[in-house]
Every structure is written in C-alpha cells, then in structure tokens.
Amino acid sequence: MSKIKKKVVVGMSGGVDSSVVAALLKKQGYEVIGVFMQFWYPEGLGYGENRCCSLESWQEAREVARIIGIEIHKVNFGRQFKKEVVDDYLLKHKNGQTPNPCIHCNKQIKFGLFLNYAKTVFGADYIATGHYVKMKKSGSQFKLLRPKDKNKDQTYFLYNLKQEQLKHILFPLGDYKKDEVRALAKKLKLPVHAKADSQEICFVGNNREDFLRCYLKPKIGKILDAAGNELGQHQGLVLYTLGQRTGLGLGGGPWYVCGFDWRKNNLIVTKNSRDNRLLSKEIVCKDVNWLNKKEMKLPLKCQAQIRYRGRAQMCQVIKSSRDFKVVFDRPQYAAMSGQSVVFYHGQELLGGGVIV
C-alpha cells in the first residue's frame, strides 16, 4: 500500500526564493500546491512591475508552476492586507511610532490568514515560504534558528509565531545561501533565477516619504537645536525617525534627530551622536510573544536586537507589570517606540515584543 503524500501549500510570489521552495518540496515527494497572494497597492506612487504581486509576477509564478509541474491558484487578500497591515502602519506613524509592517504582515497575513486558508480550502498539512530561517524539533517543541546565510537572516520578522502554527510550517531555505538558491533555480531552468529581490516594505512604492505624505498629509514645522534655536523647516514629523541624519536639509552637520515635540510640531536635532536622548540603557516592550513559553524563566539573560540589520546585544529581560523591561549591558542607539525588540539565545530565536 502506497504512502499518502503530505500536502503542502507554497506561497509563491514569482520570486526566486519561493519558486525554489516549491521545486525542492516537489522533489522531496510532497503534494505541492502553489498560491499566489494578491495584496493592496496604492496607485501612482512609482511602482515597478517587479513588485511582489504584480501581473508580471503572477505570470512568472504561473510559468514556474508549469515547469515544476504543480497547480497554482491566485487569491486576493488585498482587503485584509489593507486593513491589518497598511492601515496599522499609517496609524502608528500618525501616533509618532516607527512600525515594522513586515513583522505585522507575517503575523496577520502570511502565517495567520494564509495558513488558515491553506488548511481550510486545500486541507493542507503544511504551508511553506521562502523565509531564510532554520527550524528544528526538540521534544514536543519547535525551535527557530538563524539560517546558514546570515545576510538573509529573517528570524527577526518571525518572533510572533506560535507552536500551533510552527507544526504546520516548513522553511526549506534555512540551510542554503542566496547564491546557492539562485544557482539551483538556474539548474532547474526556472526563469526567475536572476530576478532582483523585492523591496523591504512592499506597499510603500519607491519612496517611503511620498507614501506617508500622500496618506497622512503631514504639516511643515520648525527644526530646532537643543537650545531652541531655529535651524530650518521639517516636512512633517511623521517622515522622520530617531537617530536619522540624512534628508534633514541642514548645513554644518552632521545633525541627528534626537526628539519630537508633537504638541508644537517641532523636530529637535543635535550634532552629538552620543546625546543621551539617542541612547537607551533600558527599554519597555509590550505584546511580547515567546516561541517556547514553557522554557522561559524570568529574569532572563539573553541577547536582544532592536532593528533588522542591528547586532544582537546582551541584556536582561525582567517582567514589569503587564509589560517587560529590557536592561542592556550597553546603551542602545535610537530605540524608537513602535520598533520591535527581538530576543535570542545564541542562534535560537526566543521571541520578541514592541518597544513602548
């Protein structure tokens, strides 16, 4: 009696990573189904046809599916994406925060809505994505680890995953480097083997500032130094973030954004990159998720990373009322409300939360 194949639904964007994932899983004997997810994009903000869910990307995904020999379906998640990801991004900027929409998209769409869709519509055993992350099972628990390709490490974006989700997810690219993935795609004669990577925030177009101007209509105001001297004009507080040193339009610099006066609509800058307003020995975070909650014992000594490309730094995590306090061994630069702080023990992703 032949063994029943496990069914896996692959989120195929028309890019090289998800295309190779589908091909690898087909070769490993899974019953593979491709799903091309359509999201929401604004009109007229300079989008190229290379964006992740354009008509061209859909055609590329269909061609890859044909070559691999799998079926592929297109599903429109635009309404949910606009509400859960885009509107949330705009609201948090309006409230003076610096959000990471990719983290929110993973939580609400790719490993929330898409996972439920794959299980309900296709009866899938698993979903699979092109994220660069390793996963291993330890007893009854699943653990996420940094991948082989440290330059493509995407663990930072996945700290909201839960054990119930992890048992239904596959990450086939954890043991590959990006150039190896491209070489494999070329060997398989996949037409997307040399396709450029998509931009980090898919829906903001070619210019984040243009997107925020269009939807938030920010007001021009004054740029002041710490003594209250007027140095110039800013184009809207929502366009700037703590520690920013480019795009300020000021001479005699470098100048660094070190504060926001939301009541008076003033942007505060300094020439001192080690200004105390830019450094945080302690931060508070909320909405914390631990991947293996049973193993977490507080206070916890670990490493923490406050931005995607940042370095993980030694810290102690302490329970503080309903939230958590993170005390760093060394002060951290430009920790902004709305960013995520993500915790690690060596190569293992422990969890994370949102900086208050």
Please write the tens of the pLDDT for every residue from 187-199.
999 999 999 987 6
6: pLDDT strictly greater than 70: yes
Contact present, 247 and 219 (Cβ < 8 Å):
no
Number of domains in the chain: 3
Q: Are residues 136 and 240 in the same domain?
A: no
Among this protein's residues, is 202 annotated catalytic?
A: yes
Q: What is the pLDDT of residue 46?
A: 55
Three-state DSSP class for 128?
A: strand
Express each pLDDT in 86-112 by its tens digit: 999 999 999 999 999 999 999 999 999
Give the position of tokens 């700290």.
159
List Cα–Cα distances, 348 to 147, 182, 211, 286, 296, in angstroms: 10, 26, 35, 21, 13
**Positive/negative CA dihedral, 101, 107, 109, 114:** positive
Looking at residue 23, what is its pLDDT? 98
Average pLDDT over residues 323-345: 97
Full residue range of the structural domain in which residue 18 is found: 7-187
Together in a domain, 114 and 254 = no
Establish if 104 belongs to a structural domain: yes
Among the listed residues 202, 285, 302, 315, the single catalytic one is: 202
> Domain check: are 175 and 312 in the same one?
no
Grade residue 1 by pLDDT with cuts at 50, 70 and 90.
Answer: very low
115 and 165 housed in the same domain:
yes
Catalytic residue of the set 105, 258, 285, 302: 105
Q: Are residues 125 and 229 in the same domain?
A: no
- Is the link from the previous residue into 254 a cis peptide, with omega within 30 of 0? yes
Residue 210: inside a domain: no
Q: What pLDDT, on a 0 to 100 scale, did the predictor assign at position 294?
A: 79
Going from the C-alpha of 153 to that of each of 26, 148, 174, 181, 348, the distances in angstroms are 24, 8, 9, 14, 12
Determine the pLDDT at residue 45. Answer: 58
Verify that 136 and 265 share a domain, yes or no. no
Residues 166, 123 within the same domain: yes
- CATH code for the domain in which residue 351 is found: 2.40.30.10
User: What is the DSSP annotation of 239-300?
Assistant: G--TT--SS---SS---EEEEEETTTTEEEEES-TT-GGGEEEEEEEEEEEETTGGG--SSE
Q: What is the mean pLDDT of the chain?
A: 94
Which amino acid, one-letter code, is at 265? Answer: N
The answer to whether the beta carbons of residues 16 and 192 sit under 8 Å apart is yes
**How far does Cα 62 stand from its chain's mean position?**
26
Query: 274, exposed or middle or buried, with CB in 10 Å at 0-12, 13-18, 19+?
Result: exposed
Reply yes or no on whether the pLDDT at 177 is more than 90: yes
pLDDT of residue 296: 86
Assess whether 105 carries a catalytic annotation.
yes
